[in-house]
Amino acid sequence: MDIDYAREASVIEGNPSLKSIEDSISKPLSTKASWKYWLALMFTSSLLITGVVCLGFSFYYGTGLWGNNNPVGWGFPIINFVFWVGIGHAGTLISAILFLFRQKWRTGIARFAEGMTIFAVMTAAMFPLIHVGRPWLGGYLFPYPNQHALWVNFTSPLLWDVFAVSTYFIVSFVFWYVGLIPDFATLRDRAVTKMRKFIYTLFSLGWRHSSRHWQNYEMVYLILAGFATPLVLSVHTIVSFDFAVAILPGWHTTIFPPYFVAGAVFSGFAMVQNSLIIIRKVFNYEHIITLDTLEKMNKIMLVTGMMVGYAYGMEFFIAWYSGSQPEQFAFMNRAFGPYMWAYWIMITCNVVSPQLFWFKKIRRNVFVMFMVAVFVNVGMWFERFVIVVSSLSRDFLPSSWAYYKPTLVDIGILLGSFGFFFTLVLLFAKTLPVVSIAEVKSSADGSQPTHHGGSSHDK
């Protein structure tokens, strides 16, 4: 094959004109939804309603409806919380870290991934509130001046979580909105109906595509990416502190922060992969979200999958190497105890299944990669299940050991969280441009001046 490596490969296929990029991205916003869209929305919203009903029961009758028992006080709510926060991490990784590394292929998927971050963090944030049993008192988690002069405990990992997750949500939202402003302006100038025009005008803030603005805008975007990068690493690090700062065998390990971050990126990419494959098919974005992009995502999943696999192995090694008996017992119990079924599901899905991505044929096969990504999602959910449940159910005191079994209500709330997330994703796909118009235009072929300083002589 004769490839010119001095030339950057184009990230947008088929060399479309700027106008046609804009047309195809804004098409779903101005056309009536197909029956497929309504069917999908009906499916996700019925999941959502299941969750709402189960939550209603939980609040009415109390949290005794859940499987949480005495040693396993964390159960499903915390598993789901960690799972959903992790899902969000891929969005920030794509939009911020890949931006800093100047990876142009991110332009087609960044906006969608950022949206998923916001929805995943919203879904995740529900679970600690559900878990406290009285979600309307969640305001007490924040430091507020009160007549008793009492303040929250700033040295507690649980409070770090409150700050990390809320900062993460706000910063992701700001990042997302800043990216949307030029697109709102473009949509404003395309709008035909008065209502649309009003809404887009409102959100575009009067953006004029001015180069004097673009200069500062690009600088701020860079700064945001620079801040979001350590932020995203800090969020799952702090989530892992919830476990690692405790003294429970199986939790009290220094490998947790990097291991959790790698796992978060791994599961997040799998979720973005799953959603994008559907979106590019439904909205005909095959030329913007290209097969090359998906292949690159598969490579990242292979890398992070192996990082996670390394962490699983290293946990066992350190347990043996530490010479600490409770630690050794906790890990033997994990792999061969009452929860060995969950442990081996986790290993199969997270470590074995991504190994298929060594083969180029499989990396470029949409159906197989979709299935692998589903496996990864399942596996990563089970990873959190294994960590939370196996350590808690058998701690230092054998007399207090107990087996944890989720109830139907638990499962209903989990399904509801998926319904909530995907309903928001579907609404997002229909109301806002899921691909950044300005960014895709700027990285299309021939959209930037040639390297001769722009003077208008021949190329």
Partner 1 sequence: MTNKPIYAVTGLFEKPDEIINAAEKVAYEGYLNYDIHTPYPVHGMDKAMRLPPSTMGYFALVLGLSGAVLALFFMWITTAYEYPLVIGGKPFFSLPALIPITFEVTVLLATCGTVISMLFIFFKMPNNSHPLHDTKFMKQVSSDKFGVCIEAKDKFFDKEKVKSFLLSLGATEVEEIYFDVDDLKNKNKILTPKFSGFLVFVIVLTSAASYATLNIVMYMPPFDWMMTQSRLNAQGTTDFYENHSAMREPVEGSIARGFMPYAFIGQPDSAGKYLENPLEMTEANLAVGKKKFNTYCSPCHDYYGRGESRLKGRFPNPPSLHTDKTRNWPDGRLYHIIT
Q: Which of 155, 193, 254, 399 binds partner 1 (CB under 8 A)?
A: 155
Pick from 57, 227, 344, 418 the residue near partner 1 by CB under 8 A.
227
CB of residue 173 vs partner 1: minimum separation in angstroms?
A: 10
Any contact of residue 185 with partner 1 (CB under 8 A)?
yes
Judged by beta carbon, residue 106 or residue 363, the one nearer partner 1 is: 106
Q: What backbone phi and psi angles, to 5 degrees, belong to 205?
A: 60, 15
Distance between CA atoms of residues 41 and 354, nearest Å? 30
Span of 158-166, 246-254, 314-322, 396-404 interacting with partner 1 by CB under 8 A: 158-166
**Pick from 196, 362, 219: which is nearest to 291 by CA?**
362
DSSP state of 273: H
If phi > 0 it is left, if psi is from -120 to 50 it is alpha, else beta; for residue 74 that is alpha
Specify the 3-state DSSP secondary structure of 379: helix
Span interacting with partner 1, options 97-105, 145-153, 269-277, 427-435, rule CB under 8 A:
145-153
Contact present, 177 and 207 (Cβ < 8 Å): no
Stretch that binds partner 1, among 73-81, 97-105, 230-238, 308-316 (CB under 8 A): 230-238
The span from the CA of 438 to the CA of 303, in Å, is: 31
Q: Any contact of residue 110 with partner 1 (CB under 8 A)? A: no
Q: Cα–Cα distances in Å, from 245 out to 251, 261, 280, 376, 438?
A: 8, 16, 42, 27, 44
Rounded CA-CA distance 269/263 in Å is 10
Alpha-carbon gap, residue 212 to 243, rounded angstroms? 48
Q: Are 392 and 71 in contact (CB under 8 A)?
A: yes
Residue whose CB is less far from partner 1, 124 or 369 = 124
User: Shortest approach of partner 1 to residue 190 CB, angstroms?
Assistant: 7
Between residues 90 and 228, which has the closer beta carbon with respect to partner 1? 228
Q: What is the secondary structure of 33-69 as a DSSP string?
A: PPHHHHHHHHHHHHHHHHHHHHHHHHHHH-GGGSS--
**In angstroms, what is the minimal distance from the CB of 293 to partner 1?**
19
Residue 15 interacting with partner 1 (CB under 8 A) = no
Q: Site map for partner 1, 290-309, x if CB under 8 A?
A: --------------------
Mark the segment that binds partner 1 (CB under 8 A) among 141-149, 325-333, 370-378, 417-425: 141-149
* Contact between 227 and 171 (Cβ < 8 Å): yes
Kindly identify the residues of this chain, within the stretch 33-92, that bind partner 1 according to CB under 8 A: 59-60
Q: Tell me: does residue 178 bind partner 1 (CB under 8 A).
A: yes
Q: Smallest gap, in angstroms, from Cβ of residue 29 to partner 1? A: 15
Is residue 193 a contact point for partner 1 (CB under 8 A)?
A: no
Residue count of the chain: 459
* Among 10, 103, 167, 324, contact with partner 1 (rule: CB under 8 A): 167
DSSP-assigned letter for residue 156 = -
Among 207, 339, 343, 421, the residue binding partner 1 under the rule CB under 8 A is 207
Interface with partner 1, residue 247, by CB under 8 A: no
Report which DSSP code applies to 405.
-
Give the range of 257-265, 285-293, 337-345, 441-449 binding partner 1 by CB under 8 A: 441-449
Asked if 241 interacts with partner 1 (CB under 8 A), we say yes
Interacting residues of 205 by C-beta distance below 8 A, sequence separation 6+: 181, 184
Closest CB to partner 1 among residues 133, 337 = 133
Asked whether position 143 contacts partner 1 by CB under 8 A, the answer is yes
Say whether residue 313 binds partner 1 (CB under 8 A): no
The correct pick among 9, 39, 49, 223 for binding partner 1 (CB under 8 A) is: 223
Beta carbon nearer to partner 1, 25 or 372: 25
Report d(CA 2, CA 15) in Å as an integer: 20
Q: Which is nearer to partner 1, 152 or 342 (CB)?
A: 152
Task: List phi, psi (to 5°) of 391.
Answer: -70, -40
